[in-house]
A and B are shown apart, each in its own frame.
Chain A
Amino acid sequence: MNHKGINMSIPRNNTLKLKFDSARKYAPAPESRAAAKIDPRYDLFINGKFEKPLSKKYFDTINPANEEKLSEVAEANAADVDKAVSAARNAYNKYWKKMPPKERGKYIFRIARMVQERARELAVVETLDCGKPIRESRDFDIPVVGNHFFYYAGWADKLEYAFPNRNAQPLGVAGQIIPWNFPLLMAAWKIAPALATGNTVVLKPAETTPLSALKLAEIIQEADLPPGVVNIITGAGATGAAIVNHHDINKIAFTGSTEVGKIIQRVISGTNKKATLELGGKAANIIFDDAPIDQAVEGVINGIFFNQGHVCCAGSRLYVQESVFKEVVRKIKDRLETLIVGNPMDKNTDIGAINSKQQLDTIHKYLKIGQKEGAEMYQSSCDLPTKGFYCRPTIFTNVAQSNRIAQEEIFGPVLAIQSFRTDDEVIEKANNTPYGLSAGVWTDKGSKIFNMTTKLRAGVVWANTFNQFDPTSPFGGYKESGYGREGGLHGLLPYLTLQSIS
Chain B
Amino acid sequence: MAVKTTVTPGLIFRQAGFNLSPRVDQVGIEERAARFTKRSIKKETKVNGLMLALNMIDLTTLEGKDSEGKVKQMCYKAMHLLDTYPGLPTVAAVCVYPSMVKTAKKALEGSGVKVASVATGFPSGQEPHSVKISDTKFAVQNGADEIDMVISRGKFLEGEYNFVFDEIASIKEACGEARLKVILETGELVTYDKVRRASDIAMYAGADFIKTSTGKVTPAATMPVTLVMLGAIRDFYFSTGKKIGMKPAGGISKSKLALHYLVMLNEILGEDWMNNHLFRFGASSLANDLLMQLMKEKTGVYQGKDYFSID
Contacts and interface: CB of A to CB of B under 8 A. Distances in A.
Please say whether the chains A and B touch (CB closer than 8 A).
yes
B238 A16 contact: yes
Interface in A270-299: 290-295, 298-299
Contacts of B239: 10-13
A436 to B, nearest CB: 25
A27 B94 CA distance: 32
A444 interface: yes
Contacts of A10: 9, 12-13, 20, 235, 239
For this complex, into which size category does the number of interface residues on chain A fall? 35 or more
Contact of A18 (B23, B29, B42, B234): B234
B238 A14 contact: yes
Contact of A294 (B16, B29, B237, B266): B29
A275 B39 CA distance: 42
Contacts of A465: 25, 27-28
Interface in A203-243: none
B44 A27 contact: yes
A29 B46 CA distance: 11
Contacts of B9: 10-11
Q: Specify which of B12, B41, B42, B270 lies most central, judged by the most chain A CB atoms within 10 Å of its CB.
A: B270
A20 to B, nearest CB: 5
Nearest to A340: B39
A16 B241 contact: yes
B306 interface: no
Nearest to B16: A8
A29 B42 contact: yes
A330 interface: yes
Given A292-B23, A292-B25, A465-B28, A139 B270 contact: no
B274 interface: yes
Contact of A7 (B7, B38, B40, B46): B7
Contacts of A13: 238-239, 241
A27 B22 contact: no
Given A10-B12, A27-B41, A295 B272 contact: no
Nearest to B11: A6
A298 B35 CA distance: 11
B83 interface: no
Contacts of B40: 26, 29, 347-348
Interface in A1-29: 1-3, 6-14, 16, 18-23, 25-29
Contacts of B231: 294
Contacts of A8: 12, 15-16, 20
28 contacts: A1-B16, A3-B16, A10-B12, A10-B239, A11-B239, A13-B238, A16-B237, A16-B238, A18-B237, A20-B267, A21-B271, A22-B271, A23-B266, A23-B270, A23-B271, A26-B39, A26-B40, A27-B42, A28-B42, A290-B23, A292-B24, A295-B25, A298-B28, A347-B38, A444-B23, A464-B25, A464-B28, A465-B28
Given A10-B20, A26-B45, A348-B40, 17 more contacts: A8-B12, A22-B274, A27-B44, A27-B46, A291-B22, A292-B24, A292-B28, A293-B22, A294-B28, A294-B231, A295-B24, A327-B238, A338-B267, A347-B38, A348-B39, A464-B25, A464-B27
Q: Which 6 pairs of residues, A with B, have the shortest CB-CB distance?
A: A295-B28, A29-B40, A18-B270, A27-B43, A347-B40, A27-B45
